[in-house]
């Protein structure tokens, strides 16, 4: 990992570079700042007292991680080489400029996926979600292993693999390689999951009306 100061940013903003499979921050660390993903994909997960792991989120460019008070309640790890913009907490109003809207949006999306009753619905929604978050691309790479997807959606790895194969057999997605996917029928994925794809669009800046 190395560091360089961002041009044109506030003094507290620093670019941090991480190699693949690096620890960005650990569960229990004192939170001294937050991160915005510039390049790459990260996994945010939480370990319970019995040792079980819950993958809370996959952070893609534009997402924010590490907005906690006090000690961090989760850890973050890089799934690919990454560039992150680090913003240190600097005072009484340190959180005022943090992008809370994106954090709330991502939390709602995660809860929406977890609330779906079947594995097929969760996987359909997850594939649709990642397609939108990675730039609305029909073809994209998911660098996380199947076990990460399982721990994120509350499923077993076997169920994830079987359900992905079933979606491919039905012609809704195409698995080109182990980590490379193509969305063939986004409307059908939306119908199966019951999720409006527009829910995953980034928030638009508000226009001021004179």
Q: pTM for this one?
A: 0.78
Residue 11 has what pLDDT?
46
- The ranges of the chain with pLDDT < 70 are 1-12, 91-112, 197-210
**Segments making up each domain of the chain, as ranges:** 10-98, 117-200
What's the CA angle centered on 186, arms 180 and 188, to 5 degrees? Answer: 120
Crossing angle of helices 119-133/146-153, nearest 10°? 110
Residue 93 has what pLDDT?
46
Residue 195 has what pLDDT?
77
Residue 12 has what pLDDT?
55
The CATH class of the 117-200 domain is mainly alpha
Residue 52 has what pLDDT?
86
Q: What is the CATH number of domain 10-98?
A: 2.60.120.10
């Amino acid at each position: 990992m190395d560091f360089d100061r961002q041009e044109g940013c506030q003094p507290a903003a620093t670019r941090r570079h991480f190699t693949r499979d690096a620890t960005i921050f650990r569960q229990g660390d004192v939170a001294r700042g937050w991160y915005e993903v510039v390049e790459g994909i990260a996994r945010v997960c939480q370990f319970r007292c019995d040792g079980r792991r819950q993958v809370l989120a996959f952070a893609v460019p534009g997402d924010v991680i590490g907005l906690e008070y006090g000690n961090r309640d989760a850890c973050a790890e890089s799934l690919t080489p990454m560039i992150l913009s680090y913003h240190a907490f600097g005072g009484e109003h340190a959180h005022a400029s943090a992008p809370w809207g994106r954090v709330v949006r991502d939390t709602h999306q995660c809860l929406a996926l977890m609330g779906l009753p079947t594995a097929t619905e969760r996987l359909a929604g997850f594939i649709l979600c990642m397609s939108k978050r990675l730039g609305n691309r029909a073809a994209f790479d998911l660098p996380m292993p199947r076990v990460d997807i399982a721990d994120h959606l509350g499923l077993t790895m076997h169920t994830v693999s079987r359900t992905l194969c079933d979606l491919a057999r039905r012609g809704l997605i195409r698995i080109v390689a182990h980590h490379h996917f193509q969305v063939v029928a986004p409307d059908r994925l939306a119908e199966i999951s019951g999720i409006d794809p527009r829910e995953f669009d980034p928030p638009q800046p508000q226009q001021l009306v004179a």
